Structure 1
Amino acid sequence: MALGEELQDWRSDALRLEDEVGKVVIGQQQTIRLINVALFARGHVLLEGGVGVGKTTVLRAFARAVGGAFERVEGTIDLMPGDLVYHTYVDAQGKPRIDPGPLLRRGEQLTTFFFNEINRARPQVQSLLLRAMAERSVAAFDREYRFPHMTVFADRNKVEKEETFELASAARDRFLFELNMPTPEDAEVRRALVFDTAFHDADALVEQVRPGVVAWERLNAMGAAIQRGIHASAAIERYLLDIWQATEAPQRFGVALEDVEMDRLILAGASPRGMSALVRAARVNAWLGGRSHVSPDDIQAVLPAALGHRVFFTPIYELRRQELAQALIDAIVARLAVP
C-alpha cells in the first residue's frame, strides 16, 4: 500500500478515535483534538484545569480508545521514586515480596501512563518520570525495561497550591503540549452535564468508549509516516523560524504587551526541541484535516499548546505566566506576516 493510502486509512481511525471520546466528553472539542494531535505526534500531554471539569475522564476515555495496557498513579506528597518502579508487600506466608511497579509491570504492552495530580509528587519522583518520558525506558533490577509505545498523560490541579511542587522548566519541556481544559461555556452543554444523569457516572461513561479503535502497536510507525508524508513549504519554514526568533526577542518584531517592559520579559525563548515539537504537531494537525502540506492555520492551531510553556520569563514576570504566555503567543501571531 502506498504511503498516501496508508495515511488516509490511519486518518479515518484517528478521527473515529476522536468521535469515540467525544461521545462521553462533551463541550471539549478543542482539548480532544489537541490530545489526539499529541498522540500521533508521539508526545506527552500535561493537562491543567479546575476541579471537576473532566480531566481524568477525557484521559481515561483516550486510554480505552487507544487500547494496550493502562497504568495510573496518584500524585501524593509521600510518593517516592521507587514506588513507580517496584511494589513491596508481605505475602500470606509473612514473607516480604517485591513486584514490578506501575512503570514496569506491563512491559512493552504499556501504552498509556496516567499521572494524576503530578504537582503533588516530589521533585525526585518527577525527575524519574522525566527519564521515562524522554527515553521510554528505565533501569531496575539490574536490567533495562523498555516501553516504546508509552504516552504519558499527566494532569495538574491549578486551584489547590498547598502541599504541591511546581514542575521545573525541564520537566514541563518534556511535555509536547500543556493544555488548559476550561469549564464549558455552552449553555446546553452545561445543562447536560448537570441534569443528564448519564454524565454523573464517570466509570459508566468510559465503558461506552469502544476499545482499541487504533492499532496501538503501530502508533510509532504511524507517527513517523505522518512526519515523512506531510510537507512544509519554504514559506512555512521561514514563518516558523520567525516565530522562533519572536519568542527570543519579541520587541524586534514590534510585539508589545500592555504593562510589560518587553526588553525585560524574556529569560529564554523556545528551544530547538520546542520548535521541533511545534513542527511535529502542525504536521499531524494538517494530516487530521486531510491536507498533505502544513498551512499557517495548522501552526496557529497548535502554537499556544506547544510553545506557551516553553517560553521562560524573567522572575518579575514569571508570576504572571498564565496571563502573559497566551498574550505573548497571540501578539506574535498578530504581528508576524502570514505566508
Structure 2
Amino acid sequence: MSTDTELQQWRDQALRLEQQLNRTVIGQQAPVRQLIIAVFARGHVMLEGQVGVGKTTLLRAVAQGLGGYYQRIEGTIDLMPADLIYYTYLNGEGRPCVDPGPLLKQGEQLAIFFFNEINRARPQVHSLLLRVMAERSVGAFNREYRMPHVQVFADRNRVEREETFELPAAARDRFMMEIGIDAPCEDAVMDALIFDPKFHDVDALVAGVESTGVPYYQLNDIGAAIQQAVKSSPTLHRYALDLWKACSRPGDFGIRLSDVEMNQFIQAGASPRGMSYFLRAAKVRAWLQGRDMLLPEDMQAVFQVTMGHRIFLNPVYGYRKEELMPELVKGILGNIAAP
C-alpha cells in the first residue's frame, strides 16, 4: 500500500516531467497535460495532428524522462504483422539471419511504442497491435513475449486519405484517449520555433530531458495506487452514469443539434471499457491537482479526449463529424447538471 507521502513524491515528479515536456515542445500545454494523465492512468493514446507539429519529439521526450526504451514504426500499405516482430537480412557472409523487430528488440524494457500513420497499415497489422494493447504480449517463435510496461501511441494521418484504412471500432476503443496536437498559433511560440536554434536539433532537445525519478517499470504500480487513493461519491457515480447514457441517447437529456434527428443520430455510444478509461483518467487529473477526492471538473476536463472517439454517429451524419462531435460533447456537459 502506497503512503500519502509517496503519492505526493510521485506527483511532484510527474509535474516535473510535465514542465520539462512543455519546455521541449512549446505551445502544447493542454496536450502535454493530457499525455501525462494517460501515462499515469496507463492508457494507450491516439495522437491527431498535422505533420511536423512535434508528436514524435514529444513521445521521445516522455521516454527519455521515464528512462524506458522507445520504438517507432511507420505505417505503410505493404507493412505486414511479421514486420513488427522480426526482420530478415543477409549477413556479411551471405547467410540469412533473423533479428527481433521493434516489438521484441527491447523485450520487457520497452516503455513506449509509437505507430506512425497507423491508418496506412493493413487491418491484419491492426489486429496484432490490438493484442499488444490488450494483453501486453505477443506470440512469436513458438513462445510468448511479454511487454508488461509498454504503452502504445499512434498517430493517424488526417490530411492524406489515399491508401489508408479506417481503424475499426474495436481498435479505436482500445485507445484511452485521442489527443489533438495542432500547430501553435501564438506569435511568440511561432517565433521561437523558427528562430531559436535549440528547437532545430531534436536529438539535443530530447537529450536535455532529465530523468524525473519516475521509472517506467513502476508506472503500473503507481497507476494502481492513484486509483485506490482518489475517492468518489455516490452523487458522482450518478453523474457519470448520466454522462454515459447521454452518449447513447442524447435526446433523452434535452440535447438538440442543428439539422439533426436526435433519435437517429447515434449509432453506438461509449463502451463499459471506455467509461472505465474515462474514470481512470479523471482520477489521475484529480491527483495531479493535489486532491484525493474526485470532482465533477476532473470528469469534465477529460470527457472530450476519452469519450469523443467512442461515440459512433449514424453514417448519414458521418461527413459532419468534425462539426457535430464538439457540439455534442458541449451539449452533454452543458445539459447534465453536475453535483
TM value normalised by structure 2: 0.97
Equivalent position of 1:99 in the other structure: 99
Shift of 1:138: 0.5
Q: Relative to structure 1, is the Cα distance of residues 108 and 2 closer, same or farther in structure 2, using a 3 angstrom cutoff?
A: closer
Q: Is the 8 A contact 1:69 1:111 kept in 2?
A: yes
> What one-letter code is carried by the residue in structure 2 that aligns with 1:111?
A
User: How does 1:1-339 map onto structure 2 within 5 Å?
Assistant: 3-211=3-211, 213-339=213-339
Give distance in 1, aligned partners of 2:132 and 2:175.
Answer: 12
Q: Is the 8 A contact 1:73 1:102 kept in 2?
A: yes
Q: Is the 8 A contact 1:48 1:181 kept in 2?
A: yes
Unaligned runs of 5+ in 2: none
Q: Is the 8 A contact 1:37 1:281 kept in 2?
A: yes
Shift of 1:91: 1.1
Deviation by residue 1:299-339 (Cα, 9 ceiling, x = unmatched): 01110000000011111112222222221111100000011
RMSD: 1.2
Give distance in 2, aligned partners of 1:51 and 1:73.
Answer: 16
Give distance in 1, aligned partners of 2:58 and 2:192.
Answer: 16
Give distance in 2, aligned partners of 1:234 and 1:308.
Answer: 25
Give distance in 2, aligned partners of 1:2 and 1:116.
Answer: 36
Give distance in 1, aligned partners of 2:317 and 2:288.
Answer: 36
Unaligned runs of 5+ in 1: none
Give distance in 2, aligned partners of 1:216 and 1:54.
Answer: 22
> What one-letter code is carried by the residue in structure 2 that aligns with 1:270?
A
What SS class does the counterpart of residue 97 from structure 2 fall into?
strand
> What one-letter code is carried by the residue in structure 2 that aligns with 1:134?
A
Q: Is the 8 A contact 1:229 1:292 kept in 2?
A: yes
Q: Is the 8 A contact 2:14 2:212 kept in 1?
A: no
Deviation by residue 1:95-141 (Cα, 9 ceiling, x = unmatched): 11112211112111111111111111111111110100110001111
> What one-letter code is carried by the residue in structure 1 that aligns with 2:135?
E
Q: Is the 8 A contact 1:309 1:325 kept in 2?
A: no
Shift of 1:209: 1.1
Shift of 1:219: 0.4
Deviation by residue 1:165-203 (Cα, 9 ceiling, x = unmatched): 121111111100001112212221122122222222222
Q: Is the 8 A contact 2:40 2:223 kept in 1?
A: yes
> What one-letter code is carried by the residue in structure 1 that aligns with 2:53?
V
What SS class does the counterpart of residue 322 from structure 1 fall into?
helix
Q: Relative to structure 1, is the Cα distance of residues 212 and 289 closer, same or farther in structure 2, using a 3 angstrom cutoff?
A: closer
Give distance in 1, aligned partners of 2:212 and 2:337.
Answer: 42
Give distance in 1, aligned partners of 2:277 and 2:325.
Answer: 17
TM value normalised by structure 1: 0.97
What SS class does the counterpart of residue 320 from structure 1 fall into?
helix
Give distance in 2, aligned partners of 1:47 and 1:276.
Answer: 20
Shift of 1:146: 0.3
Provide the aligned length of Structure 1 versus Structure 2.
339
Deviation by residue 1:246-291 (Cα, 9 ceiling, x = unmatched): 0010000001111211111101111100000000000000000101
